[in-house]
Structures are given as C-alpha cells and as structure tokens.
C-alpha cells in the first residue's frame, strides 16, 4: 500500500489549559509547542464538549456530542454506541490504515481495544519515549495514531526548577493564597514537561522521515484540576489548545496562520478523516475544518452531567461574545460532594467561605443556593464573574442564547434530559458507596436494604 497517503497523529493532552506562550501566556515559554503552531494553524477558540475527560473523549473519538450518543455520564462503561456509529480509528482501519494508541482511552461506551487499534500500549504514557508507537507500522502503510500525554496530571515529572508560585496570575474567582498559587504554578510546570515531550515526539518523527507526511493534531480533553475549571463548563473548563500541522501540504494547512472562529472537539475527527482523503459519515455532528462547504459555527455547546458519583446537569452556549449557562439542578450547590473533597485547596476555600473571607465573585461558586441561569459578556468580562442575567441591556441577547440551547436540546435529543438508567446508578453506587448522596441513588439503595 502506498505511503503517499498521509499519516495522522493525535497528541492528546490530559487536563491542559492553553497556558502556552504561543497562546499569548508569557508566564512560561513553550518552544516546542510554539514551533508546532508556527508550522501549522493555531485555533484560538477551540472548545471541548465537556469539562471532564470521558465525555469529551467519547465525543472526540466519534465526532458526535456525547449527549447524542448516550456517553454523557462520566465513568460509564455500560452503554452501547447507537447502531451504525463507529469510532474514528475504526474508519481509518477500514481504509487500510495501521492504528495505534499509547495511553488512556476512557470512553463512556462498550468497546474492544483490538477492534479500534492494531497496537494499544499500556496506560503508563510511555509511548512518547520508548518507541512503541508508530514503530510497529508495516513499511508503506499509513498510520492513524494517538499518543496520550499526561499533561496536567504530570505533577512532579518536570526535570529542573519549576515556576515560582509568586509569579503566576491568580483569577479573581480564586482567593490569592499560597495554596492556590501553588496549584496554578504546578499546572504551568506540567505544561513545561508536556512541551518537552512534544519536542521529543517531533524529533522522532523527523528522524524517522515521517514529519512531512504526518498531519499532527495537538489538543486537550479539558482544563486543569481546580474547581471552575475541570468538570465545569466555563472558559477554564472546556477551552482547549488546538494546533494542526501538515508540513507536506502547506496549501491546506498554512504555516503560521491563526483561526479565531469557534471550533468544537467534535470537529477533530471529521477533519482528520477528510485531510487523509477519507469520507466523513453523514451521521457525524462535527465537520471538516478545511472543507469546501465548511460553515463557521455561530456557537459551541458543552455539557456537564454526572461526574463520578456527583449527579448534575449543566449546559452552556458559547458564542463569539457571550456565554450562557443553564443550571438544571438548582436543588444542589455547585460545589456539592465530589472527588476533589479533602484536597488542601478545597478545604482552604470551604473554610474561607465559612468564615466570610471570600469576595462576592468567589463566594458565588461556593454558596448553598444555585441560580438557574448565568449570562456573561466574555469580551468585557473574560473571567465570567459578572452575571448579566437580570441586566435589561442584555435581555435580547440572553433570550437568543436561551433559544439556541432549547433548539439544540430538541434537535440532538440531548440524552441528559432523561434520568440515568438504574444499571448506571447501581454501578456508581457499587464503586463509590457512601459517597453517593444525591437523591437519585435512594431507590437503588433501598434495593440492597
């Protein structure tokens, strides 16, 4: 089989915000990621469909909203994909590509690794370093591969000095405290480590003579681990870096270019298929970002549903200027019982809130009561702390965003509007036990009494 067909490589980062120098953040320098951006296209407004890994990864790997395919509840391994729906690597494999994955998968549906991948490495994220990724690809056969990098979870792996916590910016929705500064600095350290890994991968591609004919995608599944970032669907939770480089076809992927249109994580798969010359199945909700009939998005959508044992339902509409957030479960606070409980940063903020030491912008997220709607002018308020839902000057824009969400829920048959099946709740209760305190578990608990 001719190797003139391009290879496609996803550098899939975990828990990473776009805090990189090529994205204008000068707190650190990321020369390897910057070089990748300079060799291709940097997308300034790319958003995942969720603020937590398994829903966003399920969406990315299928080119469909996780809420459409029933993969919206975090850490759910029981659903089957709807009939006729396959994953991106399966389409590549059907077309004669060698497929591999190094690191995590974490999809919220039943799948078999051997069906998706010719080679699947361990979960230790070593594929970038030990040569066990594309090295198994037969000569002359193109590959579609994923290298998963720990990203924001690579705490403690940076060789050399880290970032001074005193030098990092602290958003106004966090208290300016040494514990918070340390957390932010650790994320910068993780990005520095990731940048070095990206450099190693690019160097290996060059050494193996594959750089020019390999389309490289670099992106993440969601933001860093602090609250209001990971698991949530504000800017810090689902805005991601996205870079595409193809040195062998600079007519399509123009070096040094920047795009500021709204892009969704569900566009990554269809774009990968299209650039490789493969067709995009009609059922996919994403689109080829370079297609002849590409239509710029007026908005992107993201969803938050059950995360581990924490049952919730939030939806957001992000347009060029505004963010609309709909909180469907106002009977429970934002910061209800969750996996982060017990961490020093959570204990710090909870204590400060109890002692009335938070500003109103900070206390909003920790209050016992939860409002149904939020509306932010992201141009004027990039930190999304000034809720305009009651501002008459923005009433028309607010209604427009309400309508967008209502129509999207109906058009896609958003599965989050329906209760999670008992089989899922039983599985969660078995895993998490007494941590399952939401009322949705009460009926399941009675089964075992």
- Choose the most confident range, by mean pLDDT, from 55-64, 363-372, 425-434: 55-64
Query: What would the pLDDT profile of 407-443 be if each residue is shown by its tens digit?
Result: 999 999 999 999 999 999 999 999 999 999 999 999 9
Percent of the chain with pLDDT over 70: 97
The structure tokens 């300034």 sit at 44
Q: Per-residue confidence at 131, pLDDT binned at 50, 70, 90?
A: low
Residues 56 and 198 grouped into a single domain: yes
Q: Per-residue confidence at 78, pLDDT binned at 50, 70, 90?
A: confident
Of residues 339, 338, 309, 303, the one with CA closest to residue 427: 309
Residues 273 and 360 grouped into a single domain: no
Q: What is the mean pLDDT of residues 173-193?
A: 98
Residues 27 and 113 grouped into a single domain: yes
Residues 397 and 269 grouped into a single domain: no
> Per the structure block, which two tokens stand in for 146?
């994923």
- Confidence check: pLDDT of 132 > 70: no
Distance CA 313, CA 304 (A): 5
Domain that holds residue 218: 7-298
What CATH number corresponds to the domain at position 257?
3.40.720.10
Give the sheet arrangement for strand 373-377, strand by strand. Answer: 300-304, 314-318, 322-327, 373-377
Of residues 139, 136, 191, the one with CA closest to residue 162: 191
Q: Per-residue confidence at 3, pLDDT binned at 50, 70, 90?
A: low
Residue 441 lies in a domain: no
The Cα-based distances of 143 to 2, 7, 402 in angstroms read 12, 5, 43
- Confidence check: pLDDT of 126 > 80: no
Q: Where are the alpha helices (DSSP H) in 240-317?
A: 268-275
Sheet strands (E) in 295-396: 300-304, 314-318, 322-327, 373-377
pTM listed for this prediction = 0.96
Distance CA 184, CA 337 (A): 23
Contact criterion met (CB below 8 Å) for 166 and 328: no
Q: What stretch of H or E contains 352?
A: helix 344-354
Contact criterion met (CB below 8 Å) for 265 and 301: no
Of residues 245, 294, 236, 246, the one with CA closest to residue 267: 294
Residues 55 and 179 grouped into a single domain: yes
The domain boundary residue, chosen from 247, 275, 298: 298
pLDDT given at position 182 = 97
Q: What is the mean pLDDT of residues 374-380?
A: 99
**Burial of residue 213 (number of CB atoms within 10 Å: 0-12, 13-18, 19+):** middle
Of residues 125, 136, 172, 87, the one with CA closest to residue 11: 125
Query: What would the pLDDT profile of 7-50 be if each residue is shown by its tens digit?
Result: 999 999 999 999 999 999 999 999 999 999 999 999 999 999 99
Of residues 51, 67, 55, the one with CA closest to residue 229: 51
Residues 309 and 293 grouped into a single domain: no
Sign of CA dihedral 146, 255, 250, 272: positive
pLDDT given at position 1 = 39
Residue 443 lies in a domain: no
Residue 366 lies in a domain: yes
The domain boundary residue, chosen from 274, 298, 322: 298
Query: What would the pLDDT profile of 259-303 be if each residue is shown by its tens digit?
Result: 999 999 999 999 999 999 999 999 999 999 999 999 999 999 999
Residues 308 and 422 grouped into a single domain: yes
Three-state SS for 198-213 is HHHHHHHHHHCCCCCC
Per the structure, the count of domains in the chain is 2
- Confidence check: pLDDT of 382 > 90: yes
Distance CA 431, CA 159 (A): 36
The structure tokens 């970038």 sit at 128
Residue 426 lies in a domain: yes
Distance CA 57, CA 50 (A): 9
The structure tokens 């689902």 sit at 238
- Choose the most confident range, by mean pLDDT, from 131-135, 212-216, 429-433: 212-216
Residue 355 lies in a domain: yes
What CATH number corresponds to the domain at position 429?
3.30.1120.10
Q: What is the mean pLDDT of residues 145-165?
A: 93
> Per the structure block, which two tokens stand in for 287?
């689109």
Residues 252 and 312 grouped into a single domain: no
* Mean pLDDT estimate for the chain: 95
pLDDT given at position 327 = 98
Residues 291 and 323 grouped into a single domain: no
Residues 146 and 196 grouped into a single domain: yes
The domain boundary residue, chosen from 275, 298, 321: 298
Residue 447 lies in a domain: no
Residue 119 lies in a domain: yes
Residues 250 and 340 grouped into a single domain: no
Ordered DSSP codes for 24-64? T--SS--HHHHHHHHTEEEEEEEE-S-SSHHHHHHHHHHTS
Contact criterion met (CB below 8 Å) for 412 and 67: yes
Residues 260 and 114 grouped into a single domain: yes
Residue 13 lies in a domain: yes
């Amino acid at each position: 089989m001719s190797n003139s067909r391009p290879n496609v490589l996803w550098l899939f980062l975990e828990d990473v915000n776009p805090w990189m120098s090529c994205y204008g953040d000068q707190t650190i320098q990321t020369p390897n990621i910057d070089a990748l951006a300079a060799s291709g296209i940097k997308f300034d407004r790319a958003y995942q469909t969720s603020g937590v890994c398994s829903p966003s990864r399920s969406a990315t790997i299928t080119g469909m909203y996780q809420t459409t395919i029933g993969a919206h509840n975090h850490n759910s391994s029981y659903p089957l994909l709807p009939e006729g729906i396959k994953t991106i690597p399966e389409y590549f494999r059907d077309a004669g590509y060698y497929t591999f994955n190094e690191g995590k998968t974490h999809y919220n549906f039943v799948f078999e690794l051997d069906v998706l991948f010719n080679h699947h490495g361990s979960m230790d994220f070593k594929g970038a370093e030990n040569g066990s990724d594309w090295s198994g690809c037969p000569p002359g056969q193109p590959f579609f591969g994923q290298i998963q990098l720990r990203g924001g979870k690579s705490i403690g792996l940076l060789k050399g000095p880290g970032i001074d916590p005193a030098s990092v910016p602290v958003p106004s929705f966090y208290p300016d405290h040494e514990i918070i500064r340390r957390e932010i600095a650790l994320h910068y350290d993780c990005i520095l480590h990731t940048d070095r890994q990206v450099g190693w991968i690019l160097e290996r591609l060059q050494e193996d003579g594959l750089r020019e004919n390999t389309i490289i995608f670099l992106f993440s599944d969601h933001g860093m681990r602090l609250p209001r970032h990971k698991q949530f669907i504000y800017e810090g939770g689902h805005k991601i870096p996205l870079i595409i480089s193809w040195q062998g076809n600079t007519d399509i992927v123009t070096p040094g270019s920047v795009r500021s249109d709204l892009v969704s994580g569900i566009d990554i798969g269809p774009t990968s298929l299209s650039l490789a010359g493969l067709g995009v199945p009609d059922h996919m909700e994403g689109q080829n970002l370079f297609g002849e009939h590409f239509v710029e998005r007026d908005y992107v959508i993201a969803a938050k549903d059950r995360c581990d044992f924490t049952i919730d339902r939030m939806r957001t509409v992000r347009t060029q200027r505004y963010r609309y957030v709909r909180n469907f479960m106002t009977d429970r606070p934002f910061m209800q019982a969750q996996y982060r409980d017990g961490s020093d940063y959570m204990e710090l903020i909870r204590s400060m809130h109890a002692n009335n030491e938070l500003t109103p912008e900070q206390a909003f997220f920790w209050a016992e009561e939860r409002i149904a709607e939020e509306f932010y002018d992201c141009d004027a308020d990039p930190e999304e702390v000034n809720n305009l839902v009651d501002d008459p000057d923005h009433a028309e824009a607010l209604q427009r965003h309400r309508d967008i969400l209502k129509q999207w829920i109906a058009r896609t048959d958003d599965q989050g509007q329906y209760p999670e099946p008992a089989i899922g709740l039983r599985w969660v209760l078995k895993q998490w036990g007494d941590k399952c305190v939401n009322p949705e578990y009460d009926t399941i608990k009675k089964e075992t009494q």
